[in-house]
A and B are shown apart, each in its own frame.
Chain A
Amino acid sequence: MLGNQASLALVIPEAILGATVAGVMALGVSRAARSRGVVAASGSLGLLAAMAVAAWQAAGAHGSVAAFHGNVVVDAMVSLFRLVFFGTGLLTLWFAYASSEIDTRDFADMTALVCASVMGMSFMAAASDLLMMVLAMEFVGLLSYVLAGLKREDQRSSEAALKYVIYGAGASGVALFGMSFLYGMAGDTSIQAVREVLLGGAGEGTRQGAGFAPLGLLAVVMVLAGLGYKVAAVPFHMWCPDVYQGAPTPITAFFSVAPKAAGFALMMRFLSLLLAGVSSRLLSDGLMVLIGVVSIASMTLGNLAALNQRSVKRLLAYSSIAHAGYLLMGVATLPALMSATPDPSGFRAVYFYLVVYLFMNLGAFFVTSHVVTRLGSDDLGAFRALGQRSPLVAGVMAVFLISLAGLPPTAGFVGKFYLFWVVLKQGGAFYYVLAFIGVLNSFLSLFYYARILKVMYLEPSADTRPVAAGPLAVAVLMALGVPTLLFGVWFSPLLSAAGKVLG
């Protein structure tokens, strides 16, 4: 366990981001804030530097190190998730730069908020102490509320922020309440200490070990409820469509990927620290069924609700709820992690899918943002004949949609394939049913993704003027579209990266 000073070297990426936030805020009150370019460039620079350090650390990571007196653990998983968070932040900046929805006077604030919030997320992925979990979650949450309300004159945006706050506060309250049980069991906020109680080691109370399982289950369920809100899983999803629709599109893109990834990172971190090797039938079966049912509910409800949406942002919001469901299938393999020979392959599949999801979902949102900027609406009608008006944008959008639907030869197919593989590998009727409902859902999802394809290519538009795409837009599209295709046919590197999660 490292002390504070010795730990500093492990959080260089976060330190860089802290400095970037300070720098951008300073820029924000100076004349330079009138130029979005300067702000975007300095924000990007900070994020790129942080990513470079994180990538370097991920490549050299061996085992895990408990840092800051056991408040956080730093391992390959943290570094890998840092890349996801920072990458999303970076792309969000570029989206926002290209978008007309973010005012220039807000641009510096937004940059600072995004950088700070991805910094908080990397602490979510690293938290190994209940207190640290809460602090990181709340830090990210608070910044998100502000980001959602960035368009101050827009009522929808304000409504989104308010909804986000209220739901967020409720969810955090429940999670905190659950954590208080865990604290009560162990008399310590360290997750490791709680695990020892569940394993049957020293505890404060008179009842030992397995006797704590029922209380432990209740507490974990309450914490998962708080995290379910972060990842927008049913039944904690109600905020999602309204917030996604109300927030400025680049921010929506950010919300759809980064907090979800952070929620999954924290969920995986928390569950693996708390339950690794804990052999309690009640806990393993209870959580398996619970997470499995939430997963089924999320994908089914998300997909069904997406079927009839006219607003593409709202449609993608429901699609992201469905994707939370697919990802939860991987988390539902938790019993494998709790066995005597812990097998984290389910969690690795979740990481794999999150990376794929980053590219395809950000891509779909970027195209939507592009359409909103150029044509002023995110209604399906605005996408009419995009195939002729902007062949490149529509073509890449088609790739993203196909990938979201999980069809080969795209990365989305490989991600789903990996998830189904880990679920079927567990064996047992429950997992077969889960996988079966999973594939039926990915079939169902094609209905609405294909609807966008249909509108783009098959429906004529009264307005046939070309929709221009500038060099920045083309660069971002390529940065997102090429990996979406490439990881569909050549995914070994991504697989080996995912293999380092909880390795």
Chain B
Amino acid sequence: MVDHVLSWMTFFPLLAAAAILVLPGRLQSAFKWIAVLGAAVPFLLAFQVWLGFDTHLAADGRALRGAAPTLDAAAYGLQFVERAVWIRAFNIEYFVGVDGVSVSMVLLTALVSLVAVIASVRVARPVEPHHHSIAGIQVKERAYYGLILLLETGMMGVFVALDFFLFYVFWEVMLLPMYFLIGVWGGPRKEYAAIKFFLYTLLGSVLMLLAIVYMYIYAHPAHGSYLLADGSAAPHTFNMMYLSYHTQFEWVSFITGKLLWVLFFIGFAIKIPMFPFHTWLPDAHVEAPTAISVILAGVLLKMGTYGILRVNYPVFPAETLWASTAMAVFGTINIVYGAFCAMSQKDFKSLVAYSSISHMGFVLLGMSSFTQEGMNGAVLQMFNHGTITSMMFILVGVIYDRAHHRDLAGFGGLAKAMPVYTGFAGLAFMAALGLPGLSGFISEALVFLGAFQTHRVATIISASGVILAASYVLWMVHRVFLGPLRKEEYGEFSDLNWREWLSLVPLAIVVVVLGFYPMPVLDLMSASLGALRDFVLAAG
């Protein structure tokens, strides 16, 4: 058992990245193994968090509302907490911990990052022909693994940070590695895709920054006073828990809770990505190298919905209720619009990318329902989408490595040449369309079950998303895997190699197990989400 487990999970990849950065170039062949180690250690630590997590602990929001801020982490339903004063002058703390919502995301991040690093072990060789120099290769491999590990630190940090300043730092730290990973190692339109991703996300986050600073200045404790980690009183706070449960805001001129809610929501909605802020996603996914698409879809998109649950819900419960219909409507648009777009794609990877938009719509819809089933379903969908989409992107990468194109119309009959590959693909895509027995079904069913109680019309329209998913998936399977071999050379394609096996099997196990028995993940989040739901509804 490791002390400070969340800090180790967050910063171990950074240490590995630093090691890769300073090691001499002649050890170049070791870089990838250091990167694997850098991602494997957090993965192992994730088991400690999973096993040690007390699933019954949750914050009693209504009781907290009437009480003074305390240092007792358990009262807020937080576990594995580490807390220390960082910058006293601004009351900034190093405050990390997990509750039921974040713990599943931490586990997902650890899993997907490890899979992504394994999936890149070979890919990180130079792809552009003009980089022949030995120095170039060294720099590139060094940079690639360094950046991917830095990215993991940023992602992990976002999910464990409970201080707004810290949260924002981690949130922004992810942007640059992502920019370079897409921009340097991506496809033909990589530069455009990278800058689009960067600017879109930054626009959202600068708005969020204003809202954070405003909250810091104009939030006052309803009872007692804010406390720093060492027990000293503080007039202002960045503490997310205090801002959620112990705070009265002072609204000045046109700044109101609704405006702040919208600022945060836009910042997060861009990440989800919610229609109409979704246009960066197909570009970024299609141009990014396989492993980076895996991380983008597997983890980064969840930051948007996680942020809404972490910030918008508890800090602005009344405003959240005010906006619940809008969230449901946007969720529905995401589901239907994303599915229609996916259906019309000619490129295998953009099909998967648009399916992500559709699937993230379920999360929004479930969240907006304020029922136990709907909210559990939403967070479970975040987890399941992370594993299923990661599999799909790896599978697209596998075929791209062999065929060097992704044109759906150019494939055919791959089932004959690559039976094992086809098996995995069948599993992943069936899970994506929500086949009972696989994990995607459970979360989507829960979302529908929950959302139908609150947003009837939206749910009925959204249900068509399942049919649409079935049509784009089955049509794709038909074009790619079935029928006669389209080209002679496809017959000589080798089936999965050990690296591909290794990256697909862990995800496949999770998809199948959670399809039959989702309780290991559902139990983690259930208590916290229930408490959050009660807290929000109490504000209505």
Are A and B physically bound partners?
yes
Please list the residues of chain A having a beta carbon within 8 angstroms of any beta carbon in chain B.
387-388, 391, 398, 402, 407-409, 413, 417, 420-421, 424-425, 427-429, 432, 435-436, 439-440, 442-443, 446-447, 450, 453-454, 457-458, 460, 464, 466, 489-492, 495-496, 499
A-contacting residues, B73-95, CB 8 Å: 87-90
CB-CB < 8 A to A420: which residues of B? 209-210, 213
11 contacts between A and B (CB under 8 A): A388-B135, A388-B136, A407-B172, A421-B90, A439-B209, A450-B179, A450-B199, A453-B179, A457-B184, A458-B194, A492-B89
B359 at the A/B interface (Cβ < 8 Å)? no
**CB distance A421 to B213 under 8 Å?**
yes
- The stretch of B252-260, B289-297, B449-457, B476-484 in contact with A is B252-260
**CB distance A439 to B206 under 8 Å?**
yes
How many chain B residues touch A (Cβ–Cβ < 8 Å)? 43
B177-199 vs A: 1/0 string, CB under 8 Å? 00110011000001100110011
B326 at the A/B interface (Cβ < 8 Å)? no
How close is A63's CB to chain B, nearest CB, in angstroms? 22
A interface secondary structure, majority: helix
Q: Do A424 and B173 form a contact, CB below 8 Å, given A439-B209, A458-B184, A460-B130?
A: no
**CB distance A443 to B190 under 8 Å?**
no
Docked CA distance A420–B198 (Å): 22
**CB distance A408 to B190 under 8 Å?**
no
**CB distance B254 to A432 under 8 Å?**
yes
B23 at the A/B interface (Cβ < 8 Å)? no
Please list the residues of chain B having a beta carbon within 8 angstroms of any beta carbon in chain A.
87-90, 128, 130-131, 133, 135-136, 139-140, 143, 168-169, 172-173, 175-176, 179-180, 183-184, 190-191, 194-195, 198-199, 202-203, 206-207, 209-210, 213-214, 216-217, 252-255
B interface secondary structure, majority: helix
**CB distance B128 to A460 under 8 Å?**
yes
How close is A241's CB to chain B, nearest CB, in angstroms? 25
CB-CB < 8 A to A460: which residues of B? 128, 130
Docked CA distance A443–B200 (Å): 10
Name 14 extra pairs, CB < 8 A, besides A387-B139, A387-B143: A388-B131, A388-B133, A408-B168, A408-B173, A417-B209, A420-B210, A424-B213, A424-B214, A440-B206, A443-B206, A454-B183, A458-B184, A458-B194, A491-B87
Contact of A442 among B130, B169, B194, B206 (CB under 8 A): B206
CB-CB < 8 A to B130: which residues of A? 460
| In the complex, the 6 A-B pairs of residues with the closest C-beta atoms, listed nearest first | A408-B169, A439-B206, A495-B89, A429-B253, A408-B172, A427-B252
**CB distance B87 to A439 under 8 Å?**
no
Docked CA distance A496–B87 (Å): 11
Chain A, Cβ-Cβ closest to B171: A408
Contact of A424 among B169, B194, B217 (CB under 8 A): B217
**CB distance A443 to B213 under 8 Å?**
no
**CB distance B128 to A447 under 8 Å?**
no
CB-CB < 8 A to A492: which residues of B? 87-89
CB-CB < 8 A to B89: which residues of A? 492, 495-496, 499
* Most chain B CB neighbours (cut-off 10 Å) among A420, A458, A464: A458
CB-CB < 8 A to B216: which residues of A? 421
**CB distance B255 to A432 under 8 Å?**
yes
Q: Do A391 and B139 form a contact, CB below 8 Å, given A421-B216, A436-B210, A440-B206?
A: yes
CB-CB < 8 A to B202: which residues of A? 407, 443, 446
Contact of B217 among A421, A436, A491 (CB under 8 A): A421
**CB distance A439 to B254 under 8 Å?**
no
**CB distance B206 to A428 under 8 Å?**
no
